[in-house]
């Protein structure tokens, strides 16, 4: 699956993540990323570290950023990059699925 159509989708529509919501995403390569959204921040939990990202302006969708990471999220898809390396596309893991 090409990541460019997903990136285009992320630029076109808004993110459905509400404040206080937690989501888990399965990214290419089998890496799990847990994200908690709270107001203007997103906490990204990886197996060996936690990252705090701040919400930044976006033409569409929701975008968060820190010195080391970026996150674009829309509905049940996300693009996550850490230290310049993309870990996506990522698909939300639905509870009970």
pLDDT digits (tens, 9 = 90+) for 7-58: 333 333 334 455 568 999 999 888 889 999 988 999 999 888 999 999 999 8
Domain 3-92 classification at class level: mainly beta
| Confidence (pLDDT) at 13 | 33
How much is the average pLDDT of 72-78? Answer: 88
| Confidence (pLDDT) at 18 | 53
Per domain, the residue ranges of the chain are: 3-92
CA distances from 22 to 8, 25, 59 (A): 24, 10, 23
Residue 69 has pLDDT above 80, yes or no: yes
């Amino acid at each position: 699956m090409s990541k460019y159509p997903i990136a285009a989708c992320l630029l076109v529509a808004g993110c459905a993540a509400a404040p206080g919501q937690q989501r888990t995403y399965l990214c290419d390569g089998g890496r799990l990323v847990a994200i908690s959204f709270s107001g203007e921040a997103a906490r990204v939990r990886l197996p060996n570290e936690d990252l705090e990202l701040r919400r930044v302006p976006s033409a569409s969708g929701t975008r968060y950023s820190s010195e080391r990471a970026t996150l674009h999220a829309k509905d049940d898809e996300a693009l996550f990059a850490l230290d310049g390396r993309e870990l996506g596309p990522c698909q939300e893991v639905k509870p009970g699925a």
